[in-house]
């Protein structure tokens, strides 16, 4: 059973992050934060190292035809960031599998830290941008108030929160 989730709306310059926790009476979005891509990547790597993440939901990158002209010359920083997220989770999950499959794993590179805190696998979920409007409607219908809206957070924070709620309401609702 998942008890915490991080939802991310990646961007070239701004990254929206929403933090969710399962409480006794259900899920809540406890905080939203806007970061730079480098700040997010560093914090994300550190959180993985300390077993702080159970599930990460991110908005997938798609190049839409009507936006393709705007991307001429782009280095596609958003898709690069998603690649970092996927890579770090893959490495983390491979390490967790190694611990599950070896009775006495030799994690020399990780030193004693790994032995004291064996890694747990992380669920990685990519969602299309199209879920945001339906998610906003579901939240309105259920009377769930947006933390990002209350804090007047930027668009990326609002989008990250919507991605988190959509996954929770559609996938984790029966857990």
What is the per-residue pLDDT for 87?
A: 94
Per-residue burial over 141-168, b if 16 or more Cβ lie within 10 Å, else e, is eeebebbbeeeebbebbbbbbbbbbbbb
CATH classification (class only), 4-61+75-171:
alpha beta
Q: Residue 69 — very low, low, confident or very high, per pLDDT cuts 50/70/90? A: low
Structure-model confidence comparison of residues 153 and 85, the more confident one? 85
The arithmetic mean of pLDDT across residues 155-175, rounded, is 88
Q: What is the reported pLDDT for 78?
A: 81
Q: Please determine, for residue 60, whether its predicted confidence score (pLDDT) is greater than 90.
A: no
pLDDT band at 32 (very low <50, low <70, confident <90, very high): very high
More confident residue, 8 or 153: 8
pLDDT exceeds cutoff 70 at 105: no
| 61: pLDDT strictly greater than 70 | no
Three-state DSSP string of the chain = CCCEEEEEECCCCCEEEEEEEEECCEEEEEEEEEECHHHHHHHHHHHHHCCCCCEEEEECCCCCHHHHHHHCCCCCHHHHHHHHHHHHHHHHHHHHHHHHHCCCCCCCCCHHHHHHCCCCCCEEEEECHHHHHHHHHHHHHHCCCCHHHHCCCCHHHHHHHHHHHHHHHHHCCCC
pLDDT per residue over 144-162, tens digit each?
A: 888 877 666 688 899 999 9
136 has pLDDT over 60: yes
Residue ranges covered by each domain of the chain: 4-61+75-171
The more confident residue out of 78 and 128 is 128
């Amino acid at each position: 059973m998942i008890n915490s989730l991080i939802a991310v709306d990646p961007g070239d310059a701004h990254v929206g992050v929403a933090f969710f926790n399962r409480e006794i009476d259900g899920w809540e979005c406890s905080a939203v934060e806007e970061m730079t891509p480098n700040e997010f990547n560093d914090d994300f790597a550190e959180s993985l190292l300390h077993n702080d993440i159970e599930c990460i939901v991110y908005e997938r990158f798609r190049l839409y035809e009507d936006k393709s002209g705007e991307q001429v010359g782009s280095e596609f920083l958003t898709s690069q960031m998603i690649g970092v997220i996927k890579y770090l989770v893959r490495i983390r999950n491979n390490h967790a599998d190694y611990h599950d499959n070896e009775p006495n794993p030799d994690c020399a590179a990780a030193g004693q830290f790994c032995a004291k805190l064996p890694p747990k696998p992380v669920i990685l979920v990519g969602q299309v941008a199209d879920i945001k409007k339906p998610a906003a409607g579901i939240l309105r219908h259920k009377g769930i108030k947006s933390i990002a809206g209350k804090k007047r957070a930027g668009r990326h924070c609002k989008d990250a929160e919507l991605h988190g709620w959509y996954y929770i309401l559609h996938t984790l609702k029966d857990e």
